[in-house]
Amino acid sequence: MMGGFNNHVDNSVWGRAVLMAGAILTIGVVAFAALGLGVGSVKHDTYYEAKDAYYAAMNDPTVSEEELDHLHHEEIDAHLSYLTYWVAGVTILAITTIYAIFLGIGGFINSIQPQEDHGHDDHGHDDHHDEHHGSASPIIFCLGVLLFLMGFPEFVEGMRALLAQGGTFAPGDMVLSTIGLTIIMIGVANWWREDLPFIGHGEQIATSAPFEGEHIRKAGLWVFIMSEVMVFATFFSSYLRIRTEWCTKWAFDEGKCSPGATEGEIVLTASDYLRPGGAAGTGDFWTMLPGAVNTFALIISSYTIVLALKTAKSKDWEAPKNALRYLLPDKKTAVRNYLIATLLLGSMFIVLKLVEWSHLVAEGFTVGTVQGSIFYVATGAHGLHVFVGLLVMLYLVFKADTIGYDEENGQGIEYFGLYWHFVDLAWVVIFPAFYLY
C-alpha cells in the first residue's frame, strides 16, 4: 500500500476516503451553522428591522425624501449583508456535501471490491502493473454523463419541486439522471481504483507523429484543452458580438449610440453594477472585491499546485526552517497540504462567485436579460469548470494522503495542473471582459 515502488493497494485504504468524506461534511455543516444559521439569522433580523423602518417611513408624511432615501439604502445594505452570510453558508454546505458524496461513494465502492491478489518480486515491484493498460473508465464515465444530460431538464423540474420552488414532484423525473449519476460514480470509482496503485512505471508513450515519444495522457490533455479554448472562445465572441450593439454608458458618453438615444436606453452590463463608478450606481470597493479576490485566489492556487508538483518531483526536498515547517514537515505531507491549499482556494472561488451572483440578482441584474444571460452563462461555465477541477482535486488529495506522490508518479499532478492553469487562463480573459470593461 505504501508509496515508492510498492504498488499494492489494500482495500482498507479506501475506507480512509469515507473518513475524509465524513470530515469534509462535518466542516460543511459547522460552516453552515456558523455562517448561514448563526451570523445569517442575526443579519436576517437586522434586514427585517431595516425593512420595517423603511416601510414605516414610506407611510409617514413627516419623513423627508432625503431620510427616506437613506433608509432605503440602509435596507438594501442590510439585505446584501444578510445574503452574503446566508449564501456563503448554503454554498459551503452544498459543495462540501457534494465533495463528501463524491469521495465517500467512490471510496465505499472500492472498499467493498474483492481484494486483488498481487504478486511481488523481491524489490517490491508489482509485475502485473508495470504496464499502464487502457481503461474502460472514461467510456463508462461518458455514458453516465450522456444519460445524466439526457434526463437533466426533468431532473431540474424534479429538484425544483423537491426544494419547494414550484411544480409537482414526480419520481419519474429523476430516473434517467439518477441512473446517469450512478454510472458516473461507478466510472469514477473504477478510474480511481486503476490510478491509485500507479507509480509512474509504464506510462503509455505515443509511437507516431506528431506526439511521438510523448506521454499519451499529456498529449490527450492538451488536445482536450484545445477544445476547451474553443468553448470559451464561443462565449467570448458571442459576448463581443452582442456588446457591439449595446448602447452602454461608455458608448453613450462618446456619442456611439444611435442618434437621439436617451440615457434611459443605456444598457447596464455586469461591470456597471460591480465596477466603482459604473453606470448602475451600485458599484464600489465592496462590490468589486469578490471578483478581485477570486482573481488573486486562482493565481495563488495555480502557484500552490506548481509547488505541489515541484515538491513531488524534487529528489532532495528539505522541510523549510521557518514557521512553515509545521505545515510542511515532510515531503509527502507538503505535497498533500499544497493540494489542500489549492482545493480551499478553488472552493473559496465558488463561494464568492455565488455570493456575488446573489448580490447581482438582488440588484436587478438577472438572467432574464441578454446581458445577464451571457454573463451568467459564461461565468457559470467557468465556475462549473472550477468545480469539476475541485472534484478531481479531491482524489489528488486522497492519493497524496495515502499512496503519496513522488518523482516517479508526480505527472498525475502535472497533468491535472495543466487543466487547472487553463481554468486560470480562461479567467484572465473573462474577468476583465465581464467585470472590468
Partner 1 sequence: MGEHAATGLEKWLIDKTGKDIYFWNFQVLMFFTLFEVGAVFFEVIPGTDIRITRFMVWAILIVVGIIKGYGIAAYFMHLRGDPRIYTRTALFPVLFVLLMLWGIGLSNPEAITELPSWCTPDWDYATKR
Which is closer to partner 1, CB of 139 or CB of 229? Answer: 229
Q: Report residue 331 as a C-alpha cell.
A: 515531503
Which region, judged by CB under 8 A, interacts with partner 1, from 42-50, 160-168, 298-306, 362-370?
298-306
Question: Residue 178: which of 143, 151, 141 has the closest Cα?
Answer: 151
CA distances from 126 to 12, 117, 119, 211 (A): 19, 11, 6, 29
Q: Please answer whether residues 285 and 407 qualify as being in contact, where contact means their C-beta atoms are separated by less than 8 angstroms.
A: no
Nearest Cα neighbor of 361 from 379, 386, 381 is 379
The correct pick among 79, 193, 275, 399 for binding partner 1 (CB under 8 A) is 275
For the segment 396-415, give every residue that binds partner 1 (CB under 8 A): 410-411, 414
What is the x/- site pattern for partner 1, positions 199-238, by CB under 8 A? -----------xx--x---xx--xx-xx--xx--xx--x-
Helices (H), ranges, 10-64: 13-31, 40-58
Single out the segment in contact with partner 1 by CB under 8 A; choices: 57-65, 170-178, 268-276, 346-354. 268-276
Site for partner 1 in 30-89 (CB under 8 A): none
Q: Pattern 164-203, binding to partner 1, x per CB under 8 A?
A: ----------------------------------------
Q: How far apart are the first and last CA of the chain?
A: 52
Q: Which is nearer to partner 1, 147 or 266 (CB)?
A: 266
C-alpha distances out from residue 405 to 282, 331, 414, 434, Å: 48, 9, 11, 38
Q: Does 276 bind partner 1 (CB under 8 A)?
A: yes
Measuring CA to CA, which residue among 104, 115, 140, 143 is closest to residue 17? 104
Taking the least distance from each CB to partner 1, the nearer of 137 and 248 is 248
Decide whether 30 or 436 has the Cβ nearer to partner 1: 436
Which has the closest alpha carbon to 6: 119, 96, 173? 119
**Could you tell me if 343 and 389 are in contact, meaning their C-beta atoms sit under 8 angstroms apart?**
no
- Which whole-number Å values give the CA distances from 210 to 203, 206, 215, in the listed order? 18, 9, 12
CA distance 372 to 379: 11
Q: Which is nearer to partner 1, 5 or 250 (CB)?
A: 250
Q: Closer CB to partner 1, residue 210 or residue 264?
A: 210
In this chain, which of 65, 122, 254, 316 binds partner 1, going by CB under 8 A? 254
Taking the least distance from each CB to partner 1, the nearer of 157 and 424 is 424
d(CA 303, CA 420): 10
Q: How far is the CB of 218 from partner 1 (least distance, A)?
A: 8
- 57/425 with CB nearer partner 1: 425
Question: Whole-angstrom Cα distance, residue 143 to residue 373?
Answer: 29
Q: Which of 238, 373, 360, 390 is nearest to 291 (CA)?
A: 360
- To partner 1, the closest distance from the beta carbon of 43 in angstroms equals 27
Taking the complex as a whole, the smallest distance from the CB of residue 253 to partner 1 amounts, in Å, to: 8
Nearer to partner 1, 153 or 276 (CB): 276
From CA 437, how far away is CA 430, in angstroms rounded? 10
Nearer of residues 230 and 323 to partner 1, judged by Cβ: 230
**Cβ-based neighbours of 42, under 8 Å, separated by 6 or more:** none
C-alpha closest to that of 23 among 400, 413, 412, 398: 398
Closest separation in Å from C-beta 185 to partner 1: 30
Q: Looking at 16-24, 32-40, 112-120, 289-297, which segment touches partner 1 (CB under 8 A)?
A: 289-297
Nearest by Cα to 270 from 301, 293, 242, 304: 242
Q: Answer yes or no whether residue 295 interacts with partner 1 by CB under 8 A.
A: yes
The yes or no reply on residue 422 touching partner 1 (CB under 8 A) is yes
Binding mask 301-320 for partner 1 (x = CB under 8 A): -xx--xx-xx--x-------
For residue 329, give the DSSP letter.
S
Q: What are the residues binding partner 1 (CB under 8 A)?
A: 210-211, 214, 218-219, 222-223, 225-226, 229-230, 233-234, 237, 240-241, 244-245, 250, 254, 271, 275-277, 285, 288, 292, 295-296, 299-300, 302-303, 306-307, 309-310, 313, 410-411, 414, 417-418, 421-422, 424-425, 428-429, 431-433, 436-437
